[in-house]
Every structure is written in C-alpha cells, then in structure tokens.
Structure 1
Amino acid sequence: MSVSPRPPLTRETARAKVQAAEDAWNSRDPDRVALAYPEDSEWHNRTEFFRGRKAIRNFLRGKWEQERDYGLMKELWVFTRNRIFIRFEYEWHDAQGQWFRPPSNEHWEFNDEGLMRRRDMSANDVPIAESERRLR
C-alpha cells in the first residue's frame, strides 16, 4: 500500500486523495476503507457519530449489507492545507429493489501523517427509478 499524501495538500495531492477514496469505497471492503483513518478518527455520518477504525469497519459492514450494488462518484470541490470538501453521489438499492441516489457532501480533515482524522458527511436518500441510474 502506498503512503497517503501528507499535508500541506496541493491540487494534485487533493485530487489523488479523492480518487483513492472513491476507489476504496467502490471496493466495498471495510478493511481497505478503514486504512485511510487513524485509530482515533471521528465520524459524523448522517445522524450517527462514532470514533475509531473498529467503529468505522462495523459501520461499513452494516452499510453495505443494506445498500446493495453500491456505486460511488466523488468530486473535489475545495481544499486547504489539511482539509478537503467534496461533493459525491452514490446509488444503491434495498432488498425490495428500490433504487436510491443520495446527493451528498463531505468535509475531511487530515492529520500530519495524511490520514483522515475527521469525516463529516451529509446526505439525503432520494428514491429513483432504475432507469434513472447514472452510475453503473
């Protein structure tokens, strides 16, 4: 595994972090995703707040059990020395076959080693018809 770019971020390293996150999340592998976060990482995901890699792994396992055929696109909007703001969309369906596309945003803050010490996410699940899917 390559070393994550460390602050201060540049446009190139910020884009690399966003792409690496997109690739990891699309793998749907909680262990792979969790490696981007230090042991004391703080998460805010919709109405949930939790801390640490173990909690991140548990959250992701549950997420991907419910959100089937998950696909994600992340887009860099703004970055500073150690923070990135992204817009993203993902699509998934539930056990009954209803598709959703949550338009979302995230704020990321990195520690000196380049790991994400804080992740704040906001999203709303919007039901869509399968024919409206954009991410395949």
Structure 2
Amino acid sequence: MGDTRPPLPPFTRDTALQKVRAAEDGWNGCNPEKVALAYSPDSRWRNRSEFFTGRPAIIAFLTRKWADEREYRLIKELWAFTDNRIAVRFAYEFHDAGGSWFRAYGNENWEFDKHGLMRARHASINDLPITPGERKFQWDRSSPRPADHPGLSDLGL
C-alpha cells in the first residue's frame, strides 16, 4: 500500500492534535472523494445507526450527508489518545432543505493503521434544533475554521 497519511502512529499529544485538526479541515471541505482518502480501503464505520465498510461506501454516505446537511460547519476536539487510537468529541451546525438549523453533538473513536489511515470509525451523534441566532459556527465556508476561532470548550459546548 503506497498511501500514507501523516502523522503516523504511535501518536503523541501533538501528533494526535494534528490528526484531529486535519480531520476537521477535511470534513469542513465537504468533498467526499477527498475525505475518503484519509480512510483505509477497507475502513469500517458506524455512524449513528448505519454500518458500512470501504471507501466507496464512505463516499456514498458523505455525498448523501452533505446534500442533506447544508452550510455544514464542524469543530472537533481531542478527548484522548493511545498508540494508534484517538477519541474526539465534536459539534457541527447545518440546516436542512426547509431552512431549519441544527447543532449535532457527538463522540468518535478512531483506530489507525501503520500508514496513518483510519481503519475504524465509530460515531455517536445527537441533533438539537437551534435558531439561526443560536448559531456559533459562522466562519467563511470556503476556508478551514480560522485558527483564532474558539473551540468547543471555549464556546461552552
């Protein structure tokens, strides 16, 4: 396998933080084909109540997700890490086709192969309806979250 996605395990606090920010930036780009490259070809996922395996399934899932979740903006925060595993908590905001806004809260557990590709992703997520005035993630969607934008803990989330 020629694909590598640094930083590679075993993770330190600094490299785990880099991995989390890279994932956040990738997902905020809302490009399913590009995001799928961060996962091993046989990556196993649980997302809410959906279970699937492999990059084609990841691309199909993300394509559907970002068609339904408009104006998507995500913040991830490192929770814990070990040699080849990282746990994150996250929140993202989006609106549906009818214009109703939501904030989704969740936790993910990630496991990486020796090439730095995620081979397992387990996500638990809950949605909360919000008003447009309650939105907290309002940076320009054409770029990653600005470095000076508050994280989840700073926002009280």
Q: Normalised by the shorter chain, which TM-score bucket?
A: over 0.9
1:120 match: 122
Alpha-carbon displacement from aligned partner over 1:50-71 (angstroms, at most 9, x marks no partner): 0000000000000000000000
SS in structure 1 of the partner of residue 137 of structure 2: coil
The partner residue of 1:15 within 17, 20, 24 is: 17
The answer as to 2:112 corresponding to 1:110 is yes
Q: Distance in 2 between matches of 1:49 and 1:63?
A: 14
Q: Distance in 2 between matches of 1:29 and 1:2?
A: 19
The partner residue of 1:32 within 27, 31, 34 is: 34
What does residue range 95-106 of structure 1 map to in structure 2 within 5 Å? 95-106=97-108
What does residue range 79-90 of structure 1 map to in structure 2 within 5 Å? 79-90=81-92
Deviation at 1:86, TM superposition (A): 0.3
**Residue-pair matches, total:** 136
What does residue range 41-60 of structure 1 map to in structure 2 within 5 Å? 41-60=43-62
The partner residue of 1:65 within 67, 90, 98 is: 67
SS in structure 1 of the partner of residue 42 of structure 2: coil
SS in structure 2 of the partner of residue 19 of structure 1: helix
What are the ranges of 5 or more consecutive residues in structure 1 without an aligned counterpart?
none
What are the ranges of 5 or more consecutive residues in structure 2 without an aligned counterpart?
139-157
2:77 match: 75
Q: Distance in 1 between matches of 2:12 and 2:29?
A: 26
Q: Identical aligned pairs, as a percentage?
A: 57
Q: Distance in 2 between matches of 1:96 and 1:55?
A: 27
Deviation at 1:2, TM superposition (A): 7.7
What TM-score does the superposition give when structure 1 sets the normalisation length? 0.97
CA RMSD of aligned residues (A): 1.2
SS in structure 2 of the partner of residue 86 of structure 1: strand
Alpha-carbon displacement from aligned partner over 1:12-67 (angstroms, at most 9, x marks no partner): 11001000000000000001110110110000000000000000000000000000
Q: Distance in 2 between matches of 1:4 and 1:99?
A: 35
Distance change (3 Å), C-alpha of 1:23 and 1:2: farther
Q: Which stretches of structure 1, 4 residues or longer, exceed 4 Å deviation after superposition?
A: none
